[in-house]
Amino acid sequence: MFSALMPKKNEFFIQFNTHADRCAVAANAMMRMMTQLGRSPDEVARLIQEIDLAESSGDQIEHDTIVMLHKSFITPIDRDQIHMIVSGLDSILDRLQDVGESVILYDIKEATPEAREMAELAADAVERVRKAVALLDNMGEATAALKLCKEVDELETKGDKLWRSGVSRLFREETDAIQIIKVKGMYQILEDVLEAAENMGQTLEEVILANA
């Protein structure tokens, strides 16, 4: 019976990796969705559904991980750190789903160049999060993982600058007040994705430094 409370060391890391993979799938779908706006409504709808499925899968992974955590007597890293990781990954998926939902809510027909570029930056940041998560079970790769976390932070900084320049151009060139509200809202939601990835990078950095 005691052995049931002793999960294999890699079980939590498998959950982390699967969760991070769902984030990367959703981020890639979100990026492709932004490029399809104004081109293929059917493809946009399909990609929004792909994001939703990834988010739903992530919710289940988070639930299963927390259940496993409560059943485990010993964990490979601190319990609070496990909570922080799954919560951070879930936040990324939630923000990605917000992008898809905003396209429907705001009736976005076409993405601006800034929005498409922000989506690309967000997808790149989430991919780096995925790679950093994959290195968590090997502290011999701590330097590489920390480098990835730093790159996530740099991508968020680029996204923030792009957000400001996009909003500035929007107010200079757009005369339709409703369109201004829609596009500005989309910029903010894309920035939220980048911030969620940045927060996850900071969490991973804390976990790595605490366990290296």
Structural domains of the chain in order of their starting residue, each with its CATH number: 2-211 (1.20.58.220)
Q: What is the pTM of this model?
A: 0.92
| Separation CA 164–CA 194 (nearest Å) | 14
Cβ contact 96:193 at 8 Å: yes
Angle between helices 79-105 and 41-71 (to 10 degrees): 160
Per-residue pLDDT at 138: 85
- Tens place of pLDDT per residue across the chain (212 aa): 333 444 455 889 999 999 999 999 999 999 999 999 989 999 999 999 999 999 999 999 999 999 999 888 888 899 999 999 999 999 999 999 999 999 999 999 899 999 999 999 999 999 999 999 999 988 778 999 999 999 999 999 999 999 999 999 999 999 999 999 999 999 999 999 999 999 999 999 999 999 87
| Separation CA 148–CA 137 (nearest Å) | 15
- Distant-in-sequence, close-in-space partners of 140: CB < 8 Å, separation ≥ 6: none
SS (H, E, C) the chain: CHHHHCCCCCHHHHHHHHHHHHHHHHHHHHHHHHHHCCCCHHHHHHHHHHHHHHHHHHHHHHHHHHHHHHHCCCCCCCHHHHHHHHHHHHHHHHHHHHHHHHHHHCCCCCCCHHHHHHHHHHHHHHHHHHHHHHCCCCHHHHHHHHHHHHHHHHHHHHHHHHHHHHHHHHHHHCCCHHHHHHHHHHHHHHHHHHHHHHHHHHHHHHHHHHHC
Per-residue pLDDT at 6: 43
